[in-house]
Structures are given as structure tokens and as C-alpha cells.
Chains A and B, each alone.
Chain A
């Protein structure tokens, strides 16, 4: 057991699963990097964020497969390979590139099993980078988890820390359904104790990160840390917030959220996507349809605005939900 970064935890999960199962292959742009370059080196990148660094040296270019910039072919190839016996981990470098491969995910990967009457399975993972905070502007900063979550047939995973990242990725690779694994780019340096051994964290089990009886705060991915900062802030006034990280949006652990709301009667949801048809809206709907009588105050949704992600640092800071906004929301629900 050692302290590892989110990046190292993901790399370790990939390495251990590739060592364990020869059917696991990595497919993507510059997952090794350097093919065809004048330097003649492999592993020039190891992924644009270095997440797959070193793997090509261990498993070779036949299992760490550098591809042209062809997202439809990358994702579709992973789907077809999964249908025929491999367990591919395809990398969609930035989730924003979904636009150029969505058909292969939502019409193909997600529907194969149902369309074919349960006679096929698609054990693939699509890893992708999400989130604002690095001034990457409108086409490299979205979260987009609501879009995936909307599609029956896909599972959607959003680890908020290094420990969860490793366990959820191993679960994703061993899972027999297509799994969208969303890594927040602001979390790659996040450090936690991560066991050296492989382990699995089941999907659909929320993590109660902080116990509290006064207000329920649900947050995902990087927003978990925003929620925790807000919880610490209101703790100074003696307010005990329960912070829940659903970890997966599909399946969603409704029970844990509803049990918490039954206890606190107050719900704040923090979501880094725009509000319409977001996870925040989804969880708010869950609370009002299934726990309306438990609610003592209107549900608060702290989300990004209904805009693209801006470039200027000053605007991007405004775009991303912050701890102050969450703190104020917690105070508002407590006053009702």
C-alpha cells in the first residue's frame, strides 16, 4: 500500500489487468505515441496526460495500439473487438470528441446486446477525460456524463479519487457491458492510499464520504472535492453535511441518496455540467418523486451555467461550481 496519484492508480489498474488477461488491449491516439516519428521512439506520450505511460514497453505495440486520429474507428473497433472476444480499453482523448464517434457508442455499443436478443456482449471500456479547469475552452472542457447516462446499455463511471479510480477501472475492465470511464483532468495529481493489489469496487454503490445529519450533498468526480470544501466550511457553524459520491451515474445508487434525504430532509446537488437534463436534474427529480414527503426545503442544484465552457481564466472560474456557491446553497436549504 502506498500513496499514489489518480494517474498512477489508473495506470496500475491497466497494467495489472493487462498482465492478468491477454485479451485486454488499449486502443487510442498516442496511447504510446511516437509511431512514424523521426526519432524512432515508442512511448513518446503514454497518453496525452501520461496515463498509459510505460505500458507499451511492458505489453508491446500489439496490445497498446496507437491509432490514427479516427475516433469513430477507434471506438467502433473496440466495440467489434469486444463482440468477438477481446476486452478493449479504448481511449477517447477528450470527451468532447464524442461528437465524431457518437454513433459507434450509442447506436452500436449500447444497443448490440438488446438488439440481438441477449446473444452478444460488449465487454469494452471507453476511457475519456472530462472537466473544466485547465483553460482548455469549449471543445476540451466538457463533462458530458448526462449524455452517456441517458443511453440505456451504457454504464457510466466517474471516479473522484485515486482509490476509487483503480477499483472502478478494474471492475469496468472485467465487466461484460460497455463502460464509459470518465477521468477528470483536474484530478490526475490527486493522491490517496491505493492498495498495490488489484481490487474491484462494484458499480451502483455510492460512497458516503462524510457522515452528517443536517443536509445531504451529492456530488460527482471533481465536484466531490468542492462539496467537501463546502462541508468543512459549514462545519465551522456546527452544520453536519452528509457528502455522497454516487461514483457511477449508470447504474445510480438511488437508495443511498434517498436514505440520506430521509434522514436530513435537505438536498444539495453539485454537478459540473449545465443544468438542463443533467445529473443534478435527474437526482432532484429522484428526490421529489420518491422522497417528497421527506423534504423540508426546496432541492438546490449547483451546476455550471447553460453556456459552453469559456476560455478566459476569470470566466472559467465563474463557470465551474465553487465551494462558496455550495456553501450558500447549504445555508439556504437550512433556513427553509
Chain B
């Protein structure tokens, strides 16, 4: 599927928004404005955006503890996300979820999930809804290489094949589950082969290349929409930062930390679109500036917003009780 100039701008806009958002979160976290802990998506932007360009609000995604990128790619409100991560009133979850539980069901974002391997069973549920109600929607489970070792992932993959559910498993292999390398923790080092063993198409794709991700995801989403069942994509997309912000990354060599930035999906994208004269630098710079301003506003608003009121503590445990 060819990307129009407008598509390309939109793709860049979303990737740039993720990058700018995460960099601002890093500053805010390091200055003590954000409680708890955060996991940054920097370096993996092309994965979320390349997949979500194929999705509408009617399609569902499940995300991970490293979920800001998925939220933005799926269209979640930036100001609401920032408020949420700051733990403030008006956040997407009223300040009760935080970084690891941002959700917006109206946008088809079923939630970041702080349990590694927590979302695949939930996402096949969204796919079951689509299949049962014949909505034509698809559901996408974003996972890491760590979750590829969880039983829930295997159960969900097998169930999706058995019930022929419209679902795509997108495994973002960023090289590490916390501080343990894939070469140690993933037997046979081949996640796509595991998925294929369940009886579904599974491909390895360069997750830093927006175009490669977009093309592979297009095939997988189309197959799901057309009732041909699930697929898996294993996207290679190293993270720039540690597992969590503040992680000293003692497990990564200095060399690796340097080379990882040579695969910056935003730079790669910029080079491709400018060299092929699809977009020019001025257009991209204008988008950068626009996004920077938006993130500034969101961060400033979040820093000055009130915290949830004490009465929110016992609200929304149940619909009724």
C-alpha cells in the first residue's frame, strides 16, 4: 500500500509526537514532577505508527508498560496523557492509572498494561467481539520480547488460531526483557518461528523502518479484516533508553548504546522522504516546531493541574455496588 504525501506527514507527525512527548516526560521525571516510574518508547516509534496507520478508532489495541507510543499512535489525547502521567485531575484516567495504565476505549486503546504478557488474552477478546458482532474491526496486541516468553501469549496465539480471530500480534523485540537479553531468555532466539508454529503467518521486520513496518502490518491487518485469522510480526526496534527511566543499563555495552542511535527511526524516515523528494526538510521542521509547542503546552498544563480529589479514592471501583 502506497503512502500519500499526507499519509507521510501524518506518519511523521505521530512519530515526532511520540519522540517529543517522551523527551519531555524524561525531563519532567528527572526534575521530580512525575511520580512513580516511566518506561520510554524512544527508538521504537516506527513500530507503533507503522501499525496504527492501518487502524481506525473502531479497531482495538492492547499495549504494554512501555505504552506511551502506542497511545499516541492510536490517537489518544496528548494533554490528557500528560495529565495522567503527572497524576492529575483531567488525566485520561483521572490520575488513577498513571503511565502504565493509560487507556482510552473511545479511541480503541484498551490500555497500557503493567503485567508483561497481560494483554494478549484481552486483545483476543476484542477480536472475539469484532468477529461475533461482525464489525469488521481488528485487534492488535503490542508485546515485547519479554512477553513472548509468557504462557498467556502462547494461549492467546493458539486461541486466536483455533477461533480464527481477527488479531495481529506485534512483538517489539527491543533486545531486552528488563535487564536480560533476548539471546539468553528467548529459546531458539526466534519469536516469529514460535508464532508460526501455532499455525499463523509470522514475519520478522525491521522495526525502525516505518515503510517496512507499514507494509507488513498492512498485509496482516488486511488478512484479519478479511476473516483469514491472526498473524504475527516480530519487529526489531532497540530502545534508546533503559528498561525504566533511571536504569543505569549496566547490561548494555558502551558500544551498543552508541550504535543503537544510528537506527533512529525518525532520522531514517527523514532521509528517505527527503532524498526521494516526497517531503522537504522545511515541511518536517514545521511539524517539529508545531509539535514542540503542543508538548510545551501539555506539560505546562499538567504541572499546574490539581491532583485528584480525596473522594476519587473510592470512585469507579464498580459501575454499581
Contact = CB atoms under 8 A, between A and B. Distances in A.
Asked whether any CB of A lies within 8 Å of a CB of B in the complex, the reply is yes
A103 B317 contact: no
Interface stretch (A39-47, A66-74, A133-141, A222-230): A66-74
Contacts of B156: 72-73, 76-77
A251 B317 CA distance: 12
Interface in A147-162: 152-153, 155
Given A80-B126, A103-B118, A155 B318 contact: yes
Contact of B128 (A86, A112, A121, A204): A86
A153 B318 contact: yes
B110 interface: yes
Contacts of A117: 91-97, 316
Contacts of A114: 96, 316-317
A77 B124 contact: yes
Interface residues of A, number: 48
A115 B111 contact: yes
Contacts of B315: 118
Given A83-B122, A117-B91, A77 B159 contact: yes
A70 B156 CA distance: 8
A27 B163 CA distance: 11
B94 A76 contact: no
Contact of A83 (B96, B105, B321): B105
Interface in B126-184: 126-133, 139, 151-152, 155-156, 158-159, 162-163
A80 B155 contact: no
B115 interface: yes
Nearest to A250: B321
Contacts of A77: 121-122, 124-125, 128, 156, 159
A85 B129 contact: yes
B149 to A, nearest CB: 14
Interface string B283-321: 000000000000000000000000000000001111111
10 contacts: A23-B133, A62-B132, A68-B158, A68-B162, A73-B152, A76-B122, A78-B125, A104-B122, A116-B93, A116-B97
